[in-house]
Structure 1
């Protein structure tokens, strides 16, 4: 499900022995079977077979076509049961990412040609030519861009700003149709950031042998038109393609600039029953950002400079992170209080439910938080009983520190020493088993509510603002 996470595995849990002492980000040490950890993390990465098949059959301009063999396709879409499977999956993921990068490189060359066409079209529209005469072509280009973006988003490969900028500018043209003249102050496709971004990517792809040396030539696409045509021949197949933006061009703009939260921010700042958190200053900051972002969108600045400001989006992501860690702090706090009260089976069952909800948080946030990945694996493989109180306390302390760190950052505090979490329940009254389950369920319900409120996947926003933690890890690990 998450490409690049295997880089994390090799980086953090190298294959040195069957059993290795893993030092946590706290002070405690505990013994964890490395093989279990690797299997656990690799089993997170599950690509659906139709997606792997779709990626594999895409034609590109690369001279030596990357072919994912049938056994490799199969291993990418299943859980692991042996060390042999694990090794094959690591190798297959490397090849799969090469294929994804190959697709992005080829589409970048296509984009270079499309920018020239759209720049000329924008000049014609400014002079009074109706979009109706070119609407079918523009619609086709928009579908192409969304299709490639969907391919890349599903792989979690790093997506360059050039593709987002290109797509948003096409959306701007198609959104206003024949009424676009009043909104074009300058040509949206005369954009140095877009054109230099495309050029630099093509040059890098040529250096890495994804593209031939002739890729920069003006007639490259016309000379290789059959490849381009085959690359998109199944674009309109409704059984293969689903639109991540639900065929709603305005939805792209509304979501990327957080319009669903302009009128209602209750989901971000409502009180949590078990803990007191002062959201006042953060809420005030968020509401100020709404005003600025609304002006940015209404004045159509995004048509020309989609990345001029991302303060609102970064603040939003921090708020979501803070709420996740606050919920997790509460869950672990009440769990720790029950270690001497419940039997080992009950403690194990609760631990399993906590791990499950942590996985749900990781899925929602596209596994961007490696700290949370480590914690989930620690909980899954750690054996819980009354003798492990120090270990649970260590995990709780780290999670609470993380929550406070984000909250202090949101409130502009110069020190992370401030504890902003105070619990509502009586410390002398131990929580019951049912209370723990309810708190876990509340956490899970919040994640479901947030997911249902968003127009589409949260990771779309994360990709737009450049959240790629596992891609950064690849530079430190040689996989193949």
Structure 2
């Protein structure tokens, strides 16, 4: 499973002007956001072994491998080193995508001709089936590789993959050729290759029609290494499906009655009825989108439903977090140091769980978890500031859903409940239950696969170095 391939753990510093500067090993961290993720060692080694069309390969050293696969570092210098190593990994991923995009461009001609042959009534013979299966596996491997490292996947790659899936599942006539008539995919691929050439990931000759035939050894090596890697054996053996069309277009969320998305959150007065009505309307449109096979021709022709779902999940995350921080703020001057430390750790862990669920896409949440990690344990003013911004964020999302803003202090808490950790532990447990329910509803896939498909996961270590 993807989750077993690469452990994606958050290790970050994020400070804003209102949080005091931190001293670490004699060096001060300025109000800058640092962000790194930890990757499985076998994953990094596999990525590094790949030979691409780039003239001067990106070399991930043994030191980089150690840095990238070590979960925690404790000095500013160490974090900066990890950012630089992560930047190398991201550049290597871009390099791999550039080389694969050239391969994709060459495969599209074959796939286009195959569809025309099928439309004319010729059978889908064994040779064609073997070729398409291999082409599909190559796309799955590259997507799996990028998802495993939580690296950007790009829309053109998803569009290409979904159209191959349509061919594999071919059961009647295509009304048009999804590879011949999709000008958007052709344009996206050409633009991507041009950018790769400009950034020197590809030579200028990559645009020539016979480029791949001249570089067949590199192509064979690239997928030879990937196919031999244990990271992809489940996919190649058919034991694991990368993702399904039904999942990407939210079928798991159609028939559950929406209690996960619209059930009341204890101690929060939210009227979810308008959001639920909008969601139910989107379900009907998405059903039609799938039934009419529009996704075959326009994989990104419609994402309104997915965007609405993500907003709802984000809103509920910030609702839960607002309650947790509000209760914690009330307990700061009441509980002893031992209990506060315990609660602080619980809150930090639950925010990290939310970060992991949402594939670290939310810059605001990264900043919040970082600030929370470095404020003084009983610093009321800093916790108030974090809470105020979390409330504002929650209300902004709710307003975008046509949901009422919330008077977060209107819910009642028996003051006697604040003298132990039971109340906040119960709320944190509810928060965790919500996260696990979303994970469960998405199984056997991960919610992050949907976020990558939507192209909302954007990571770049370089901008923080």
Structure 1 contact 277–420 (Cα < 8 Å) conserved:
no
Q: Is the 8 A contact 1:365 1:459 kept in 2?
A: yes
Kindly report which structure 2 residues correspond to 1:68-147, keeping only aligned pairs within 5 A, or say none: 68-78=60-70, 79-133=72-126, 134-147=128-141
> Could you say which residue in structure 2 is the equivalent of 1:67?
59
Q: Is the CA contact (8 Å cut-off) linking 1:2 and 1:366 kept in structure 2? A: no
- Tell me which moved more, 375-384 or 389-398: 389-398
1:255 aligns with: 247
Name the CA distance, whole Å, in 1 between partners of 2:186 and 2:450.
Answer: 23
What corresponds to 2:438 in structure 1?
450
Identify the match of residue 462 of structure 1 among 435, 446, 451: 451
Deviations 1:75-117 (A, max 9, x none): 1111324555434323322222221111000000000011000
1:469 shift after superposition: 4.3
Gaps of 5+ in 1: 14-21
CA distance in 2, matches of 1:248, 1:381: 41
1:50 aligns with 2:42: yes
Contact 1:361 1:447 in 2 (8 A): yes
Shift, 1:424, TM fit:
4.4
State the Cα deviation string for residues 243-272 of structure 1 (Å, max 9, x = none): 4996447x4211111110011122111111
Q: What residue in structure 1 maps to residue 218 of structure 2? A: 227
Aligned equivalent of 2:341: 348
Output the TM-score relative to the length of structure 1: 0.86
* Aligned twin of 1:148: 142
Worse overlay, 102-111 or 325-334: 325-334
What is the deviation of 1:157?
3.3
SS of residue matched to 2:97? helix
Question: Deviations 1:21-55 (Å, cap 9, x if unpaired)?
Answer: x424xxxx4343366979x9868511100110110
The C-alpha deviation readout for 1:185-215, integer Å capped at 9, x for no partner, is 0011011011111111111111111111111
1:425 and 2:417 aligned: no
Pair 1:295-2:284 in alignment: no
Identify if the C-alpha distance between structure 1 residues 301 and 204 changes in structure 2 by more than 3 Å, giving closer, same or farther.
same
- Going from structure 1 to structure 2, the CA distance change for 1:165 and 1:282 (only over 3 Å counts) comes to same
Who is 2:3 aligned against? none
Q: What's the offset of the Cα at 1:422?
A: 6.5
Specify whether residues 64 and 116 from structure 1 end up closer, same or farther in structure 2 by C-alpha distance, changes over 3 A only: same
Matched, 1:172 2:156: no
- Give the distance between the partners of 2:239 and 2:322, measured in 1 at CA: 36
Q: Is the CA contact 2:361–2:458 (under 8 Å) kept in the aligned structure 1?
A: yes
Point out where structure 2 has 5 or more consecutive residues left out of the alignment: 1-5
The verdict on how the C-alpha distance between 1:478 and 1:360 changes in structure 2, with shifts beyond 3 A counting, is: closer
Change (3 A) 1:83 1:371: closer
Confirm whether residue 403 of structure 1 aligns to residue 424 of structure 2: no
Partner of 2:303: 310
- Encode CA deviations 1:340-387: one digit per residue, 9 max, x unaligned: 3211221121111101100110111111111111111222121223xx
Q: Residues 395, 81 of structure 1: CA spacing in aligned structure 2 closer, same or farther, 3 A cutoff?
A: closer
After superposition, the Cα gap between the structure-2 partners of 1:355 and 1:368, relative to the gap in structure 1 and judged at 3 Å, is same
**Counterpart contact for 1:206–1:212, Cα < 8 Å:** yes
* Preserved contact between residue 63 and residue 212 of structure 1 (Cα < 8 Å): yes
Structure 1 partner of 2:179: 189
The corresponding residue for 2:23 is 33
Matched, 1:213 2:204: yes
Task: Work out the number of aligned pairs and report it.
Answer: 448
CA drift at 1:389: 2.4
Q: TM-score, normalised by structure 2?
A: 0.89
* Contact 2:40 2:69 (8 Å CA) reproduced: yes
Q: Secondary structure at 2:189's aligned position in 1?
A: helix
The answer as to whether partners of 1:336 and 1:392 remain within 8 angstroms in 2 is yes
Contact 2:7 2:40 in 1 (8 A): no
1:159 aligns with 2:153: yes
* Mapped partners of 1:48, 1:460: distance in 2: 18
Are the structure 2 counterparts of residues 438 and 369 from structure 1 closer, same or farther at C-alpha, using a change threshold of 3 Å?
same
